């Protein structure tokens, strides 16, 4: 977090310890309070409280980052009381421009997936996605590369299971008790036209296998095709910058064809599915040559009515 925010959080920690005798909790800090509290609310808020409990304890006991552990403990306590807290705002953290360029679209995709039913349809997965995003941004500020990689990969896996950006689904009305100190970014204002919808299937490194999370995305695509008067489906395969350009062109096509095959296996006619490749030419996350980037290993699915 920013230096000002860390100072403020450290002050709150001192205040919390000083006032613990008046608290309904037996513990002397928000982290210990979170360890003791019984979560209430929706399945999502209860799962999110559990995720933030784990993150806060790791930061306090393993990393010795007391301001950040307190910050996430407070988010966990709010979630445990049934409030919906939001993913960390990018502006609250000291990040380099390349990291902001990577984290900003990731947060936007997460918020879109949450607001369009992710919390209600897959509460545990949604909680993991949010907590791993917050873990990623915290580790990125500390520049702990191993934790950045772990948290980011786990975030991408969970986001994939949520169906990436479920753009065509109607948005769910935001809860009225969202935690005030954590502000939201721009959220979708209404249902998106089917021509503007985009579904993403992510792939493991050097793989064209559609995994379980990707199969869930394909299921959502099939449901959308059957709801709408879709005349054609476009599937475009992409890769990261690791490997030669010509190899990545072929890998992108294998990924597009793998998604096409999964659609056909679910009864979608082959003659309405167009598959093509962009290789490494259209990166979601800009990287230098030779970088393995999970967000770039994807297939994008769009519709034409």
Residue with tokens 């995003």: 133
Q: Does residue 26 have a pLDDT over 60? A: no
For residues 285-293, average pLDDT: 83
Chain-centroid distance, C-alpha 246 = 31
pLDDT at 28: 41
**Residue-level pLDDT at 270:** 94
Which residues, in sequence order, are CB contacts of 96 under 8 Å at separation 6+? none
**Cα distance between residue 46 and residue 176, in whole Å:** 17
Confidence band of 108 (pLDDT split at 50, 70, 90):
confident
Residue-wise pLDDT tens digits, 147-186: 889 999 999 888 888 865 444 444 444 444 444 443 333 4
Give me the pLDDT at residue 117, please: 83
pLDDT surpassing 80 at residue 244: yes
Using one digit for the tens of pLDDT, what is the confidence trace for 125-145?
Answer: 999 999 999 999 999 988 888
**Average pLDDT over every residue of 287-291:** 86
Least confident residue range of 9-13, 61-65, 91-95, 278-282: 9-13
Percentage of residues in the chain with pLDDT exceeding 90?
Answer: 34
Instruction: Tell me the range of 81-85, 102-106, 225-229, 257-261 where mean pLDDT is highest.
Output: 257-261
Question: Two tokens at 86?
Answer: 């939001």
Q: What is the per-residue pLDDT for 152?
A: 92
pLDDT of residue 216 exceeding 70: yes
pLDDT, tens only, 68-80: 888 899 999 999 9
d(CA 190, CA 197): 12
The pLDDT tens digits of the residues spanning 178-212 come to: 444 433 334 344 444 666 677 888 888 899 999 87
Map out the domains of the chain as residue ranges.
3-161, 194-304
Mean pLDDT of the residues in the chain? 80
Residue in the block written with tokens 């990166």: 283
pLDDT score of 204: 86
**Has residue 23 got a pLDDT over 70?**
no
What element of type H or E holds 236? Answer: strand 232-238
CATH of 194-304, picked from 3.50.50.60, 3.20.10.10, 3.30.1330.60, 2.60.40.420, is 3.30.1330.60
Which CA distances in Å does 168 have to 45, 163, 221, 232?
A: 25, 11, 9, 16
CB-based contact 136:155 (threshold 8 Å): yes
Burial of 254 (0-12, 13-18, 19+ CB in 10 A): middle
Q: Give the mean model confidence (pLDDT) for residues 104-115.
A: 86
């Amino acid at each position: 977090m920013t230096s000002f925010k860390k100072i403020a959080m450290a002050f709150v920690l001192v205040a919390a310890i000083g006032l613990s005798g008046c608290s309904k909790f037996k513990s002397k800090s928000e982290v210990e309070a979170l360890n003791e509290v019984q979560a209430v609310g929706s399945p999502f808020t209860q799962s999110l409280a559990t995720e933030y409990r784990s993150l806060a304890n790791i930061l306090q006991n393993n990393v010795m980052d007391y301001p950040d552990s307190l910050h996430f403990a407070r988010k966990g306590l709010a979630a445990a009381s049934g409030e919906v807290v939001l993913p960390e705002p990018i502006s609250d953290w000291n990040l380099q421009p390349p990291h902001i360029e990577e984290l900003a679209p990731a947060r936007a995709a997460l918020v879109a997936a949450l607001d369009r039913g992710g919390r209600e349809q897959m509460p545990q997965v949604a909680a993991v996605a949010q907590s791993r995003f917050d873990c990623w941004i915290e580790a990125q500020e500390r520049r702990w590369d191993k934790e950045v990689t772990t948290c980011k990969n786990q975030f991408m896996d969970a986001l994939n299971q949520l169906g990436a950006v479920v753009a065509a689904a109607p948005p769910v009305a935001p809860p009225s008790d969202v935690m005030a100190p954590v502000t939201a970014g721009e959220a979708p204002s209404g249902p998106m036209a089917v021509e503007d919808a985009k579904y993403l299937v992510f792939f493991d490194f050097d793989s064209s296998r559609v995994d379980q999370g990707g199969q869930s995305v394909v299921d959502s695509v099939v449901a959308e095709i059957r709801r709408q008067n879709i005349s054609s489906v476009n599937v475009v395969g992409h890769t990261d910058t690791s490997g030669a350009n010509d190899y990545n062109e072929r890998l992108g096509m294998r990924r597009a064809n793998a998604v096409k095959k999964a659609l056909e296996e679910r009864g979608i006619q082959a003659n309405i599915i167009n598959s093509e490749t962009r290789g490494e030419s259209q990166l979601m996350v800009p990287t230098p040559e030779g970088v393995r980037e999970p967000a770039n290993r994807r297939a994008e699915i769009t519709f034409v009515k």
